Amino acid sequence: MEQTSSQTPQKTFTCQLCGLSCPYSYYGQKPPNTRAIVLLEECFVTRDPFSPDKDRFLVLGSTCSLCRLCVCVGPDCSLFYTKRFCMQCVNKHLGQFPHQIQAELAKKKQNPKAAVS
């Protein structure tokens, strides 16, 4: 059990794929001051700035379980399938993911609205 301190210095999470950067308040699986929430993975979370409810928090990102890259939870940067995978690893190991995931990713790639470049 670790002591909770409200004086934690502000740390910044930066997605190493899209460059999104945002201060986070906690890294781990069980954010403090929330009602018994345990996350499926260790991730970077911050208090939801848009919610008056103190228990609300946002998951910013996590680390890829394969290459340990910090990635945000955006669908273009990472995928959660039992563990967190960055898109680089997903593409590298695409054949090892179930067909359902492969189909979903293929659908996303074909969507012209999602293409920025």
Q: Min. distance of Cβ 59 from Zn ion in angstroms? A: 12
- Cβ atoms 5, 26 nearer than 8 A: no
Give the C-alpha separation, 105 to 102, whole Å.
5
Q: Which of residues 56-115 bind Zn ion (CB under 5 A)?
A: 64, 66-67, 69, 72, 74, 77, 86, 89
Q: Which lies closer to Zn ion via its Cβ, residue 66 or residue 105?
A: 66
Q: Which lies closer to Zn ion via its Cβ, residue 26 or residue 60?
A: 60
Q: Which lies closer to Zn ion via its Cβ, residue 43 or residue 69?
A: 69
Could you tell me which residues come within 8 angstroms of residue 25 by beta carbon, excluding any fewer than 6 positions away? 8, 11, 31, 45, 46, 47, 57
Binding residues for Zn ion, how many (CB under 5 A)? 13
Residues near Zn ion, by CB under 5 A: 15, 17-18, 20, 64, 66-67, 69, 72, 74, 77, 86, 89
